[in-house]
Amino acid sequence: MGVLLLAAVFRFYGLNWDHQIGAHPDERYIVDVASRLAFPDGLNPFDVDPHFAYGHLPLYVLALVGALAPGVDPLLLGRALSASFDLLTVALTFALARRVYGTRTGLLAAALLALTVGHVQQAHFYTVDPLLACLAVTTLFFAVRSVQDGRPLDVWLTGASAGLALGTKVTAAMLVFPLSVACSTLAKGRQGAIWRCALAAALAFVVVDPFAVIHLPTVLRNVARQGAMLRGVFEVPYTRQYRGTLPYVYPIAQQLRWGMGWIAGWCAFAGLIYSVTRTLRRDARPEAWVVWTWVYSCRPSCATWRCRV
């Protein structure tokens, strides 16, 4: 409880840091698009900027909450939502780590995340990342619980969480790797686990992002454009800062220096190395492999930018 209280203080303090001018361009854009959706009179889930490169779940969440809290500035409302999502991520991190490695590890993981500067910073913007992180950890938690307990409900919740994450940002597609490990483990003793998980994911995705289904070619073009930007195929002003950086080295250095800070960052990386070694040598539990498959599947994001001169 103390860890959550500390995390809440850092995340909810100073949400009006820019005096509501919308200084963050992505946040300003997302809030503007969401504000044009109207509940309950005229919601049209397809009447969204066709160039919107993210999933539509963050738009619908803000529009719905805005309809329930009329008169509240949508920018501040969105930031309060982001802070809430990130606080939930801290709690879920504890629950996930406790199930896989025990209570002490869960508390340490939650404490490190509560103090992670990058998370505190992102909790003060209404961008897609806090919601995406929350849903990704939710998916991993239910995947681990389904492997350990074998309840059919957990399989459905795993798939639904993954579908919601994909409806937030396309990079959540990488969850297919840990889900494959979980479902392959379940399939050995429970028929239909793979199909239940896939069906739940598909249904959740269609509900929260129908635009992606109806206008699939447009969505694929937007995703391809974002991918080309990340790979450095073409540049825009806000990506030039990455020109000439080294794959893996640059993002890891930034994570240590700015994302977590040197002390917490080195503790996290040391724990990462120890856990990987333990998993490879003697910890063959399926739930451990679910977590580490996710860690491994995230590695392409560290190698996206190539060194160019």
Quick check: is 275 in a domain?
no
Q: Let me know if residue 112 belongs to a domain.
A: yes
Q: Is residue 209 part of a domain?
A: yes
Mean pLDDT by 10 residues, the chain (309 residues): 92 91 89 76 58 87 90 92 97 95 92 92 94 96 92 93 95 91 75 86 93 81 77 73 80 86 84 79 78 76 47
- Residue 288 CB contacts under 8 Å (≥ 6 apart), including other chains: 100, 275, 279
* Sign of the dihedral defined by the CA atoms of residues 114, 120, 124, 128, in that order: negative
Residue 160's identity, in one-letter code, is A
User: How high is the pLDDT of residue 1?
Assistant: 80
Query: How many Cβ atoms are within 10 Å of 246's Cβ, its own excluded?
Result: 13
Tell which residue, 268, 248, 252, has the closest CA to residue 115: 268
DSSP state of 306: P
Q: How many domains in the chain?
A: 1
Q: What is the pLDDT of residue 87?
A: 97
Check residue 191 and give its pLDDT.
65
Q: In this predicted structure, what is the pLDDT of residue 172?
A: 92
Domain-located, residue 247: no
pTM of the model: 0.88
Q: What is the pLDDT of residue 221?
A: 83
Element housing 73 (H / E): none
Residue 204 maps to a domain: yes
In a domain, 46, yes or no: yes
Residue 50 DSSP SS3: coil
Judge whether 166 lies within some domain. yes
What is the distance between the alpha carbons of residues 25 and 239, in angstroms, rounded to a whole number? 14
CA distance 74 to 34: 9
Question: How far is the C-alpha of 206 from the C-alpha of 192, rounded, in Å?
Answer: 21
CA 124 to chain centre: 15
Q: Is 82 inside a domain boundary?
A: yes
Instruction: Identify whether the C-beta of residue 272 lies closer than 8 Å to the C-beta of residue 288.
Output: no
Q: Give the domain range for residue 28.
A: 2-242
Q: Is there a contact between 266 and 256 (Cβ–Cβ < 8 Å)?
A: yes
pLDDT at residue 307 in the model: 40
Query: Residue 141: enclosing H or E segment and its boundaries?
Result: helix 128-149
Question: Which residue matches tokens 């992002």?
Answer: 209
Measured CA to CA, the distance from residue 98 to residue 95 in angstroms comes to 5
- Residue-level pLDDT at 38: 58
State the pLDDT at residue 23: 86
